[in-house]
Amino acid sequence: MTTSPIERAADTFAAELARWRTERNLSKKQLAARMGFDPSYVSHVEGRRHRPTEDFARRAEAVLGAGGAIWQRYQEYDELRHTRSASASHRDPPVPEQWLPPGTGLIVEQEVANLSYREGSYRCVIRRSLYNAGTEPVTRYLVRVAVDRYPNDPERSNRHHREHPLSFAELDLQAWCGDEPAREAMEFRKKHDRDAFKEVWLLFENADGRFPLYPGQRTTIEYAYTVSHEKWGQWFQRAVRLPTRRLAVRLDFPQGLDPQVWGVETSLSSEEAPLRTPLVQRSDNDRLVFEWATESPPLNARYRLEWRFRANGPPPRSGRGSGPRASERMRSVGIVQRGADSLRQPARQFVLPIDEEAARGIVERLMATLDRVEELHSFAKGVGLAAPQIGIPWAAAVVRPVDRGAEAVVLLNPRVVDASPEVDEQYEGCLSFFDVRGLVSRPLRLHVEHAHWDGSRVITAFEHGMARLVAHEIDHLEGRLYADRMTPGVPLVPIEEYREAGTPWRY
């Protein structure tokens, strides 16, 4: 069969990728890990089962250092795919120093974060120097504000913020673009408004006009907000969500409070550890200033400064990071963690009633594991568990509703036979990577066909939260994780920044 030019271009890209991977002495799994993809993805691209994407090509070029060869093969493929007829001036720019998240093309050349404490309130001022290395104008920039008054006691903190929610009026958020004398105020649009977590789009516009950041241009944005000490908590975290060349943090406290400051760093794939370089402390009149900086921090890294005011009394008995991480607690009760091949394999179907005894035994193990899990964490949204998550490659899952008086749903050989066109977005967690939460779109109603012990099949309707839980577990049985369903470029939220723990989904 004759192949098309676009198919030949995709094959050429895959061959170039394989050549450079082999030359760099990397396995497919190793390359996928360095690129931030699931282990099977590189294999699928090299095997021509997945076509390359711009994001994939940028990351592969950056990781393998192919001198532009991989990127060139992608451009050839992409030009054919879009049947481009535009002039060469419309081609994508050379690959930058770091790969770019899809849809943004932004590089943070420098971020300087200042936090000062005065008269019972924290004032935060963030200044970022931006460069648009992409191909489209940038018209908005996403910023997050997360507070946690009692980080060592999540239930107490959630209860506190429900009773004393953070408000936009209190924040007094202000933002500007550019430098004097051409500095422009930026309007903003709310994206998420939770009790202890806010997301807003800073817009490159105001009542007087628009000022988008065009490809190849640079600008500086600055935003500032205020939070009372009753809501803030004694920690300040910076997360690297865009390619960043330099990050600097400055804390400014009254000397009379006798502050003690320390810091830790972590990422979605590494354990928490002390900052690699020490903080620098200096006096400034009646203030103590603590400064720290790092060059070229890796994507998804998180740097957290913590402190206590010794003039207020002794430190708490346990620090924020003193206990095991959520993923470690789940692993301790037998939950397979992200990265394991078993989570990427479709589960084996039961032959019922022949396999009834085996199926019952697996369901009993799932129930017993959930009992242990619920001793470690309270699930206000309900909870589910699929057999591959405990290392069993069979198509069985159980879901426990929010209403603990209701029976758990047992799913054997399930498949979705109908889904409503109406969907909503909610944050989900997964026992196999419980340190983060992700925003996932799901149908509001599902019809699922599944088996009884005797092999007969029935169709059950689920809606709202149960539909989401059931869909999540069926994904596990098909070798899929919820992160695969997230919008490209939308980051996972560290559990430290997620403020909806202990509250049901809203419908």
Handedness of CA 11, 17, 21, 23 (dihedral sign): positive
Annotated active-site residue 155? The verdict is no
Instruction: Report how far residue 223's alpha carbon sits from residue 173's, in angstroms, rounded to the nearest whole number.
Output: 7
- The burial of 79, by beta-carbon neighbours within 10 Å (0-12 exposed, 13-18 middle, 19 or more buried), is given as middle
Contact 348, 435 (CB under 8 A): no
Instruction: Report how far residue 4's alpha carbon sits from residue 355's, in angstroms, rounded to the nearest whole number.
Output: 47
Catalytic-role residue among 16, 61, 222, 473: 473
| Degrees to nearest 5, angle at CA 178 with 176 and 180 | 100
Instruction: Report how far residue 386's alpha carbon sits from residue 369's, in angstroms, rounded to the nearest whole number.
Output: 11
In order, the DSSP letters of 70-95 are: HHHHHHHHHHHHTT--S-GGGSPPPP
Structure tokens at 191: 């994206």
Q: Which residue, among 284, 226, 229, has the nearest Cα to 252 in the 3D structure?
A: 284
- The burial of 134, by beta-carbon neighbours within 10 Å (0-12 exposed, 13-18 middle, 19 or more buried), is given as buried
E strands present in 287-348: 287-295, 302-309
Contact 117, 140 (CB under 8 A): no
Provide the residue type at 270 as one letter: S
- Distance separating the N- and C-terminal Cα atoms of the chain: 51
Instruction: Report how far residue 506's alpha carbon sits from residue 321's, in angstroms, rounded to the nearest whole number.
Output: 30
Instruction: Report how far residue 241's alpha carbon sits from residue 337's, in angstroms, rounded to the nearest whole number.
Output: 23
- The burial of 490, by beta-carbon neighbours within 10 Å (0-12 exposed, 13-18 middle, 19 or more buried), is given as middle
CA distances to 169, 171, 188 from 166, rounded to whole Å, are 9, 8, 17
Q: Which residue, among 230, 292, 288, has the nearest Cα to 257 in the 3D structure?
A: 288
Residues marked active site are found at 473
